[in-house]
Amino acid sequence: MSVIASDQLKIVIGLGLTGISCAKLLARNNARFMVVDTRENPANLAAFQQEYPQVKVMLGPLDQELLASASELILSPGVAKDDPAITYALERGSKLVGDIDLFCREVSAPIIAITGSNAKSSVTTLVGEMAKQAGLNVGVGGNIGLPVLDFLSMPEKELYVLELSSFQLETTNDLRAEVACVLNLTPDHLDRYDNDFQKYYQAKHRIFKGCKKVVENLDDALTHPLVAKQVNITGFRLGESDFAIFGVLNQLEAGEPREYLALAKQPLLACDKIKLPGRHNVINALSALALGSQAGLPMASMLQAIEDFDGLEHRCQLVASKKGVSYFNDSKGTNVGATVAALEGLGPTLAQGKKVVLIAGGDGKGASFEDLAAPVRRYVQALVLIGTDAKRIANALDFEEIYFASSMQEAVQQAASLAQSGEIVLLSPACASFDMFDSYTQRGEVFSRAAEGL
C-alpha cells in the first residue's frame, strides 16, 4: 500500500528527525509538499536543503493562511497542535496527521502499540525481544529507536512493536493496532497540556482507536479502555493471577516461598529468574506477557526472552558498586510516576534498616511533586536535589534530610558521603533534563562516570 500522489498541498511542520522522515516519504511518493519550522535556523536545515533543493522551506512564526491552504498538515511531535495558526487551518478544513498515520497507510503487517507514563521503552523492547525469540522479523521503534517511517525503506516486517508518546498520539487517527495498551497513567508533560491531566489522558487513550485487542493494567483504573464490546481485552496485575489475567503466584518450595509469573493461577516463570531487580520489573514482565499473548506469540519464546532481558540503559541500571553501595542510573525517570516506581521497585529489595539516597531534580514540566512524599518517607534516608525545580521538590516533600548540589558530580559526591554499605544511591530525577543537560542520556552518562570514578 502507498500514498497516492496528489496535487493537493501537504505541509510538514517541524524539521526535526520526525519531520525529515515525513518529508522523505512524501518525496518518494511524489507528493506536492513543503516544510515549515518555527525556528529561524533548525539544526538539520542545511543537510535537508542539500538533499531536497526542490522542496520549499519557510522558517519563523507559522503563517495561518499558508497552513489553511494545505489539505493536510503533518505535525512533528515536538510542535503543539494548539498553535493559533494550526487551529485556524483546522477550522478551515485542513486535516492534521502525524508520522504514525503516514506509516499506517503504508504497511499491512500487524502493530502492537504501547504507551503509558512509564516503562514504555522497557516493555516495548522486551516485547520486541519476545517476537525475535519466536523467529519473527520484527520492527521495534516509534518513540524509541528508529522513527517509524525509516522502516519503509526496508522490506516490510512481519510485526511492528511501537512505543508511542502522547505527542505522537495527538495526531494519530488511523492506527488500528492489532494490540493496544496504556501501561499506566500518572501526570506528565502538564506544561504541554495546560496543566490539565484530562487532556493528557485523552491523548494517551487515542491509542485504542480502531484496535482489535486490548491489554489493560488492572492495578490502574485509568488504563481501562472505552472500546466496543467485541474488542478482546486481557489484563495484568501485580496481585494474584486469574483466568485470562497475568499476575503472580506464591508457592512453597522446600518449605520456602517462591514467587512466579502466572496465568490462570498456573506458574510460568519464577520471578527470581528475572535479571532486573525490583517489583516494577515484575510488572513489566507481566505486561509484556499479556501483550505478546494477545499477539499470538508462543509462551516458551516469551519466557525465554524475559530470562535473557538485561534491561535498557538509563532505566534502573546498576552502573557501579563502591564500598558496598550500589549506584543505579534511572535517568530516564523523567516524571514523578517513574521515580515512585523506581523507589517502590528497589526499596523492598534492601535489607531491613537499609535505605536509598535519592538524587532528583531538573525541570519538572509543571508537575506536582506531592506523590513522591509517601515513597520517599518509606524508602529514602536522604535526598540530594539538583536543577531548576530543586526548591519546589524540597517544599513539596517537607523531608528532613535534604541536600542541594549545583552539579551532578557534586550530587554524587554528596550521596556517596551519606550512603552506608548495603544501601543504594539512585538517580531518578522525576524531572526532564534540559535545564542542565542535552538529554536524559547525557545526564545518566555523567552520573555513571561520577559514580564509577568515586
Please state the pTM of the whole predicted model: 0.84
Instruction: Quickly state the pLDDT bin for 419 (edges 50, 70, 90).
Output: very high
Rounded Cα gap, residues 18 and 55, in angstroms: 16
Q: Which of 10, 81, 118, 143 is catalytic?
A: 143
Rounded Cα gap, residues 344 and 278, in angstroms: 8
In this structure, the strands spanning 380-385 and 95-97 are unpaired
Q: What are 323-354's pLDDT values in tens digits?
A: 999 999 999 999 998 999 899 989 998 999 99
Per-residue exposure over 220-247, b if at least 16 CB sit within 10 Å of its own CB, e if not: bebbebebeeeeeebbbbeeebeeebbb
Instruction: Quickly state the pLDDT bin for 186 (edges 50, 70, 90).
Output: confident
The sheet carrying 33-37 orders its strands as 57-59, 33-37, 10-13, 72-75, 95-97
Residue 400 CB partners (closer than 8 Å, separation 6+): none
Average pLDDT of the segment spanning 61-81: 93
Q: Tell me what pLDDT residue 2 has.
A: 38
Q: Which domains does the chain have, with CATH numbers?
A: 10-97 (3.40.50.720), 103-308 (3.40.1190.10), 317-452 (3.90.190.20)
Percent of the chain topping pLDDT 90: 81
Lowest mean pLDDT among 168-177, 309-318, 389-398: 309-318
Q: Tell me what pLDDT residue 7 has.
A: 64
Q: Which of 81, 157, 189, 314 is catalytic?
A: 189
What average pLDDT is seen over the chain? 93
Positive or negative torsion for Cα 329, 334, 338, 344: positive
In this structure, the strands spanning 72-75 and 10-13 are parallel
Q: Is 297 helix (H, G, I), strand (E, B) or coil?
A: coil
Q: Tell me what pLDDT residue 3 has.
A: 37
Identity of residue 345: G
143 labelled catalytic:
yes
189 labelled catalytic:
yes
Q: Is residue 409 predicted with pLDDT exceeding 50?
A: yes
314 labelled catalytic:
no
Residue 278 CB partners (closer than 8 Å, separation 6+): 316, 342, 345, 346, 349
Q: What are 225-264's pLDDT values in tens digits?
A: 988 888 999 999 999 888 889 999 999 888 888 999 999 9
